[in-house]
Amino acid sequence: MSESKGQPSPPASLRDFQDWMLGALVRPEGASGPELDVRVHPPARVRLGTYQRSYIARLGKCLAGQFPALCHALGPELFDDFAREYLRAHPSTSHSLYALGRRFPAWLEAQRPDRDAAAAQREAWIDFMVDLADYEWRLFELFDGPGPEREREREPTADCPDAELALQPHLVLAEHRFPVAWYYHEVRAGRRPSVPRREPSASVLLRRDYATSTFPVTALHLRFLTCVRERGSVNAGLVGLAEVLGRPLAEIEAAWAAQREGVRRPWIEAGFFTRARPRTRR
Amino acid sequence: MQDAPSLGHHLGLGVGLRNVHFDHILREWPAVDWFEAISENFMDSGGRPGYVLAQIAERYPVVLHGVSMSIGSCDPLDRDYLRRLRALAEGVGARWVSDHVCWTGVGGVNSHDLLPLPLTEEVLAYVAERVRVVQDILGRPLVLENPSTYLRLRASTLREPEFLAALVAETGCRLLLDVNNVFVSCFNAGEDPRSYLDAFPFEAVVQLHLAGHQRGPEHIVDTHDQPVSEGVWELFRLAWQRTGGASTLLEWDGEVPAFERVHAELLRAREFMAGELDHGRLDAALRRGPSAAAEGLSTPVDFLVPSVMGRSELAAEAL
Ligand SMILES: [Fe+2]
């Protein structure tokens, strides 16, 4: 590996020790007694326990900070159990703790006991947990990832022509099987929501001035915004939507024109769009 | 690297930058001498943490303190990480960049804890070589901190102060002396912290750390969630005088109180800058029996993730 080229090679005894100690943290039940005596002064077992407890508690707390609504939904004890299992399956491999939850939603989905059942037969509350985790992770990524704040001068005004309106590149378009954004913000407001009924939700997640907002939209609007993203502008997105729906373009354009004040303007004002860079060729 | 210019290490009294204090700092611009930021919390940030640090760096001296360099690990040094660290340091005009004499993981896994190294000549030579690689990439001397430890390894043949002095002599690196960690590690190892400090290479120290700890049933845990203890203040008195007033920073990570409370605790340092070490007070602190309190969480790092929830809203259904 080029990364290790020109780097000093470690003493063998150090590698043995580190493999052993990390193993004792990640898989505490495997840390054997005799080995302990060889490596550390007594009463080392107690003190190794300090590292072991702190390891799992610290990372579990971090995960709970990344998934506060899921933690509320599961209750702290069950959440901790999941966190423990997850960390065993996916110990951190990043220099940053902020990456810890990246694989958590997919891991929850992979762990579900009913994963082999047909979609309709699966437990609704597990679907909810998976969707809520997905929503929380997307929000976390949006919060600390690259954002639109340095491109304020490209924010369009309502009079910007459709051909020049492109989707703001950091916008997240999300679909879930439950109203997860509603649930999340109920938790935020300090209320104690119960698990909602299954109800498909489409939403736009947006960051502005380093704060995130979730805009509930209709499924059709979400499809449209997806077309705008794929095709590069609102104009081209209308063409795309007409194709996807198998409807005449004129009909789609008329529907969009009718939403000029009710949808188009608020979307622009909310920050859904950016002014497309002028095309230099063709 | 050995004749690096002075790191300008008299910054005064600083506070560890924590997510929960961002709003307060941006609103009040408190009269703090300087801030220390956890490198890993900002080096990849495209969001508010990075923005806040940039604002702070325009008004205060900033120092970067890392927790994932893993200078003592058997894994190769992560050059990409080091390049990002350098870019962040240059971006915020960091006065210096520090990390810990420890390892945090191996085989690609990061425990996010500061784990103890066997202190031997062999390990010293290995770590020294890695410090040189790091200093080359960062283009500046590295500053290394003594961690708090809960295990004494049979393999160790050197005392920690000796190990650090040799590391300084071989690499020209500088030191961050955490007096709370000295108290915690010495207490846990049954060693006298005065004897530890007598052997410490103070001439290489650019920074001091202060923090609170918690007494468990059998030993002390470096929890960073309490006021600084009386014994630690006494050690600070010694360290402050022997370093000629090195930049001093208070770390508070668990149950972080309001900024004013943290700042007030930091300013207590002024009471302990002059005068003789009160041996009676230190001895009493060292003798104080174990507490029945449940064992705290060792918190060597600011592990709390930013509150995304606190800055998130649900827009009206009308759209
Ligand atoms: Fe420290």
In this complex, the residue of A11, A94, A145 whose CB is nearest that of residue B126 is A11
Cβ under 8 Å to A: B residues 145-174: 150-155
Q: What pLDDT, on a 0 to 100 scale, did the predictor assign at position A1?
A: 43
DSSP letters for B15-72: EE--GGGHHHHHHH----SEEEEEGGGTTT--SHHHHHHHHHHHHS-EEEE-S---TT
Give the pLDDT confidence of B197-229 residue by residue, as tens digits. 999 999 999 999 998 887 766 677 777 778 899
Q: Is residue B307 part of a domain?
A: no
Give CA–CA dist B163/B101, Å, rounded: 10
Assess whether pLDDT exceeds 80 at residue B141: yes
B180-212 exposure pattern, b = at least 16 Cβ within 10 A, e = fewer? bbbbbbbbbbeeebbebbeebbbebbbbbbbbb
What element of type H or E holds A167? Answer: strand A165-167
Q: Mean pLDDT for chain B?
A: 90
Mean pLDDT of B129-135: 98
d(CA B79, CA B107): 16
The confidence score (pLDDT) of residue A216 equals 93
Give the count of beta carbons closer than 10 Å to the beta carbon of residue B277: 16
Alpha-carbon span A143 to A162, nearest angstrom: 28
SS3 at position B221: strand
Is B173 part of a structural domain of the chain?
Answer: yes
Mean pLDDT of A250-271: 94
ipTM of the complex: 0.91
Instruction: Kindly write down the DSSP assignment for every residue of A125-158, as one continuous string.
Output: HHHHHHHHHHHHHHHHHHHHS--SGGGGGG---T
Tell me, in angstroms, the distance from the centre of ligand 1 to residue B62's CA: 16
Q: Is B195 an 8 Å CB contact of chain A?
A: no
Name B15's bridge partners: B35, B250
Residue B297 lies in a domain: no
**Between residues B221 and A39, which one has the greater pLDDT?**
B221
Q: How many Å from the N-terminal Cα to the C-terminal Cα in chain B?
A: 60
How many structural domains compose chain B? 1
Domain carrying residue B159: 14-290
The Cα–Cα gap between B174 and B207 comes to 9
Q: Give the count of Cβ contacts less than 8 A between chain A and B.
A: 222
pLDDT over threshold 80, residue A40: no
Q: Which of B104, B112, B115, B133 to mutate to test the interface with A (most CBs of A within 10 A)?
A: B112
Q: What is the CATH number of the domain that holds B237?
A: 3.20.20.150
**Packing angle of the helix pair B79-91, B121-138 (nearest 10 deg):** 50
Q: Is residue B7 part of a domain?
A: no
CA dist., res. A7 & res. A10, Å (int):
9
Q: What angle do CA A38, A43, A47 make, to 5 degrees?
A: 95
Residues B72-114 have pLDDT tens digits of 999 999 999 999 999 999 999 999 999 999 999 999 999 999 9
Which spans in chain A are helix H?
A: 12-26, 33-39, 44-66, 68-74, 76-89, 104-111, 124-144, 180-188, 219-231, 234-245, 249-258, 265-270
CB atoms within 10 A of CB B57: 16
pLDDT confidence of residue B153 = 85
State the pLDDT at residue A2: 46
Residues A43, A281: Cα–Cα separation, whole Å = 74
Give the residue, B272 or B219, on which the prediction is more confident.
Answer: B272
pLDDT single digits (tens) A137-190: 999 999 999 999 988 888 999 999 999 999 999 999 999 999 999 999 999 999
Cα separation, B76 vs A10, whole angstroms: 9
What is the token pair recorded at B195?
A: 């004897």
Q: What percent of chain B has pLDDT over 70?
A: 89
Residue B44's pLDDT is what?
A: 92
Q: Are B192 and A51 in contact (CB under 8 A)?
A: no
Band (B4; pLDDT cuts 50, 70, 90): very low
Q: Give the residue with greater pLDDT, B245 vs A49.
A: B245
Q: Looking at the domain assignment, is residue B200 inside a domain? A: yes
Tell me which chain B residue has its CA closest to the CA of residue A215. B315
Q: How confident is the model at residue B291 (pLDDT cuts 50, 70, 90)?
A: low
Residue type (1 letter), B259: F
Q: Smallest Cβ distance to B106: which of A19, A142, A267?
A: A19
pLDDT surpassing 50 at residue B3: no
**Percent of chain B surpassing pLDDT 90:** 74
Strand order in the sheet with A201-208: A172-176, A201-208, A211-217, B312-314
Mean pLDDT over residues B129-137, rounded?
98
Question: What are the residues facing B210 on neighbouring strands?
Answer: B250
pLDDT one-digit tens code per residue, A200-226 = 999 999 999 999 999 999 999 999 999
Cis, bond preceding A34 (omega within 30 deg of 0): no
Q: For A73-130, what is each residue's pLDDT tens digit?
A: 999 999 999 999 999 999 999 999 989 999 999 999 999 999 899 988 999 999 999 9
User: If residue B100 lies in a helix (H) or strand (E), which one and from where to where?
Assistant: strand B97-100
Residue A109, min C-alpha distance to chain B (Å):
23
Q: Is B201 on the interface with A (CB under 8 A)?
A: no
Instruction: Name residues 285-314 of chain B within 8 A of A (Cβ).
Output: 295, 297-299, 301, 303-314
pLDDT tens digit string along A12-27? 999 999 999 999 999 8
Q: Give domain status of residue B91, yes or no.
A: yes
Q: Is residue B18 part of a domain?
A: yes
Average pLDDT, chain A: 90
Q: How many CB atoms are located within 10 Å of the residue A94 CB?
A: 16
Instruction: Measure CA A253 to chain center.
Output: 33
pLDDT digits (tens, 9 = 90+) for B18-29: 999 999 999 999
CA of B271 vs chain A CAs: smallest distance (Å): 33
Residues of A in contact with B107 (CB under 8 A): 19, 22
Contact A14/B74, CB-based, under 8 Å? yes
What gap in Å lies between CA A27 and CA B28, rounded to an integer? 46
The two structure tokens encoding residue B84: 């990002």
Helical ranges in B230-306 per DSSP H: 230-242, 259-267, 279-287
Q: What is the dihedral of CA A37, B181, B23, A75, to 10 degrees?
A: 30
Mean pLDDT of B174-178: 98
Contact B47 A144 (CB under 8 A): yes
